[in-house]
Amino acid sequence: MAEIVLAGGCFWCLDAVYRQFRGVESSVCGYAGGDIPDPDYRSVCSGTTGHHEAVKITFDPQVISYDTILDIFFISHDPTSWDRQGADTGSQYRSVIFYEDEQQRELAERAKERAQQLFDAPIVTEIKPLDIFYEAEPVHQNYYALNPAQGYCTFVVSPKVAKARRAFSQLLR
């Protein structure tokens, strides 16, 4: 199994997107990239911790490649917005690929270059080393599946899930 940590706006969105694909063993919502140990949702949303809402995806690279995981990431959010995804604003919504080693950094750079062809505006996704990933509170785990009728899920998460399903239909569970 392999792991990757990605931040692309609200973690509920990326979590819901990745859970639908074969080869994804797990997706965990959490926080990464900041300075404060053991952050919680309230402190991250304050914008003072430096953390981003992120997901840690565990996947089988024999079923779904690292490159495909990154390609899904780029089509599942707007990587051209700085500290914003739709109406969600703040540094916690920044687009970031966290890497654990030089090979992952290089794959992330190449994926960003590939993705740039899909967007007119420059991609602002950061590529940063992963220090620590903190798991979010239980209420945030698998939120979309547990709350499909909630307004945010209906109007924000569902369209992102549908877009990823269309683009990568051959990989659906």
Q: What is the pLDDT of residue 86?
A: 87
Q: What is the pLDDT of residue 64?
A: 98
Which domains does the chain show, CATH number per domain? 2-171 (3.30.1060.10)
| % of the chain at pLDDT higher than 90 | 99
pLDDT tens, position by position, 97-152: 999 999 999 999 999 999 999 999 999 999 999 999 999 999 999 999 999 999 99
* Residues annotated catalytic, as ranges: 10
Strands 52-59 and 2-8: antiparallel
Of the pLDDT bands very low, low, confident and very high (cuts 50, 70, 90), residue 12 is very high
CA 65 from chain centre, in angstroms, equals 16
Q: What is the pTM of this model?
A: 0.96
Q: Give Cβ neighbours of residue 135 (< 8 Å, ≥ 6 apart).
A: 28, 29, 30, 56
Mean pLDDT throughout 162-166?
Answer: 97
